Amino acid sequence: MFGLGITAVFLSYQLLTDSQSPIPRNSTLMLVFVVLCPPSVLSLAFGTIEIGSHGFYLLWALIAGMNAALYGTVRTLIARLAHRSD
């Protein structure tokens, strides 16, 4: 759930600060989002997709799934390591 949440917040921030918005994007915050959502780098390969289009949301649904799987894997590994130490 954490991975999905991070992706949702990242996507919301991008939509809020798109090129037509009076709110500028903060580079530091964007970097934090990229660190917390590594699959978002995949969106760079599809930079020509228009924000708000069907393809845009499909791409970000894929990124959200990948980020959720990443965080789920990390959680499972940490749980296994904690279980072994008992």
pLDDT tens for 10-59 read 988 888 887 777 888 888 999 999 999 999 998 888 878 887 789 989 99
Residues 6+ apart with CB under 8 A from 39: 7, 62, 63, 66, 67, 70
Predicted confidence at residue 74, as pLDDT, reads: 94
Parent domain of 52: 2-85
- Classify residue 24 by its DSSP letter: P
pTM higher than 0.85: no
- Residue 84 binned pLDDT confidence (cut-offs 50, 70, 90): confident
pLDDT band of 86, cuts 50, 70, 90: low
- For residues 86 and 27, the model is more confident at 27
Number of domains in the chain: 1
What lies within 8 Å, CB to CB, of 41 at 6+ separation is 34
Say yes or no to pLDDT of 9 above 70: yes
User: What is the length of the chain?
Assistant: 86
